[in-house]
Chain A
Amino acid sequence: MVVVSKKPTLGRQIFPAVALTVIGVGFISQLDNPGSEVVLEGAIGAVTPSTLATNTTLAPSPVISVEGSGTCDGDVVTGPTAVFKWGGLQLQATFTKKNVLCNVTVLNYPNEDDKSLSINQSALPVYNQEATEAGNAQIAVVSGATDSWRAYTAGLQAILDAHPA
Chain B
Amino acid sequence: MTRPTPTSSESQVHPLPAPQESRVLDTDVGAIIGALTLVVVGLWSRHGGVTSLGDSAAKTYTSLAQLTGLLCSEAGLLGLILITRTPLMERRYGLDRMFNWHRLLGEAMAIFLALHIAFGVAAWAIPGGTMNAIQSLTGEEPYMALTSVGSVIVLLVTISSLKWFRNKLSYEMWYFVHLTAYFGLAASFSHQIVLGTDFADDSLARGFWVAIHVALVAWIIWSRWGRFFVALARPLRVSAVTHEAQGITSVVLSGAHLRKAKAQGGQFYLVRQLVKGRWWQSNPFSLSAQPTTAGLRFTVKSRGESSNAFTNIALGTRVIVEGPYGVCTPDVVNSEKVLLVGGGIGIGPVMSFLEQLTPQHEPIVLYRVSSEQEMSQVKGIEGLATARNGSVQTLVGPRATLKVADPFSADALLKAVPDLAQRVVIVAGPESMVKAVQRGARAAGVPVENIHAERAWW
Partner of A139, one of B34, B127, B204: B127
Verify if B333 is at the interface (C-beta below 8 Å from A): yes
A164 within 8 A of B: no
Set B27, B51, B200, B205: member contacting A35, Cβ < 8 A: B51
| Closest partner residue, chain B, to A14 (CB atom) | B27
Q: CB distance A146 to B197 under 8 Å?
A: yes
Once the chains bind, are A139 and B49 in contact (CB under 8 Å)?
Answer: no
Partner of B194, one of A20, A27, A143, A157: A143
Q: Which residues of chain A are within 8 angstroms of B38 by Cβ–Cβ distance?
A: 21, 24-25, 28
- Interfacial residues of chain A within 19-56, with CB under 8 A of chain B in the complex: 19-21, 23-25, 27-28, 30-36
Q: Using Cβ atoms and an 8 Å threshold, which residues of chain B touch A134?
A: 126-127
B-binding residues in A (CB < 8 A): 1-5, 8, 12-14, 16-17, 19-21, 23-25, 27-28, 30-36, 130, 133-134, 137-141, 143-144, 146-147, 150, 153, 157
A sample of 5 more A-B contacts (CB under 8 A), given A16-B31, A139-B127, A153-B56, is A27-B39, A32-B202, A34-B47, A138-B126, A144-B194
Task: Encode contact with A along B64-78: 1 for CB under 8 Å, 0 otherwise.
Answer: 000000000000000
On chain A, the residues within 8 Å of B200 by CB distance are 143-144, 146
Which of chain B's residues have a CB closer than 8 A to the CB of A16? Answer: 27-28, 31-32
Q: Considering the chains assembled together, what is the distance between the CA atoms of A111 and B62 in angstroms?
A: 26
Q: A30-B204, A140-B58 are in contact. Are A35 and B49 (CB under 8 A)?
A: yes
Query: Would B195 and A2 count as touching, CB distance under 8 A?
Result: no
User: Are A141 and B62 in contact, CB atoms less than 8 angstroms apart?
Assistant: yes
| Cβ contacts under 8 Å, A146 to chain B | 197, 200-201
In the complex the two chains form, is B21's CB within 8 Å of A3's CB?
Answer: yes
* Contact between chains at A17 and B31 (CB < 8 Å): yes
Q: B42-67: contact bitstring with A at CB < 8 Å (1 yes, 0 no)?
A: 11011111111000111100100000
In the complex, are the beta carbons of A32 and B333 less than 8 A apart?
no
B20 to chain A, nearest CB (A): 10
Inter-chain contact B331/A140, CB cutoff 8 Å: no
Q: Which of B30, B133, B334 contacts A2 (CB 8 A)?
A: B334
In the complex, what residue of chain A is closest to B144 when comparing beta carbons? A143
**List of A residues within 8 angstroms of B56 by Cβ:** 137-138, 153, 157
Query: Do A139 and B126 contact each other (CB < 8 Å), given the known contacts A16-B27, A17-B34, A36-B51?
Result: yes
Q: Nearest-CB distance from A87 to chain B (Å)?
A: 15
A13–B31 CA distance with the chains assembled, in angstroms = 9
Nearest chain A CB to B190 CB, angstrom units: 12
In the bound complex, how far is the Cα of B127 from the Cα of A25, in angstroms?
37
Nearest CB in chain B: distance from A131 CB, A: 8
B245 CB-CB contact with A under 8 Å:
no
Q: Could you say which residues of chain A place their CB within 8 Å of the CB of B35?
A: 17, 20-21, 23-24
Q: A14-B27, A16-B27, A23-B35 are in contact. Are A143 and B195 (CB under 8 A)?
A: yes
**Partner of A17 from B18, B27, B128, B330 at Cβ < 8 Å:** B27
Across the A-B interface, give the 4 residue pairs with the lowest CB-CB distance, nearest first. Answer: A35-B48, A20-B35, A28-B42, A17-B31
Contact in complex: B202, A31 (CB < 8 Å): yes
Given contacts A24-B39, A28-B42, A31-B202, contact A2 B331 (CB under 8 A): yes
Q: List 21 A-B contacts (CB under 8 A).
A: A1-B330, A3-B21, A4-B334, A5-B21, A16-B28, A17-B30, A20-B32, A21-B34, A21-B35, A24-B42, A28-B38, A28-B43, A31-B42, A35-B52, A138-B56, A138-B57, A140-B126, A140-B127, A143-B142, A144-B195, A153-B56
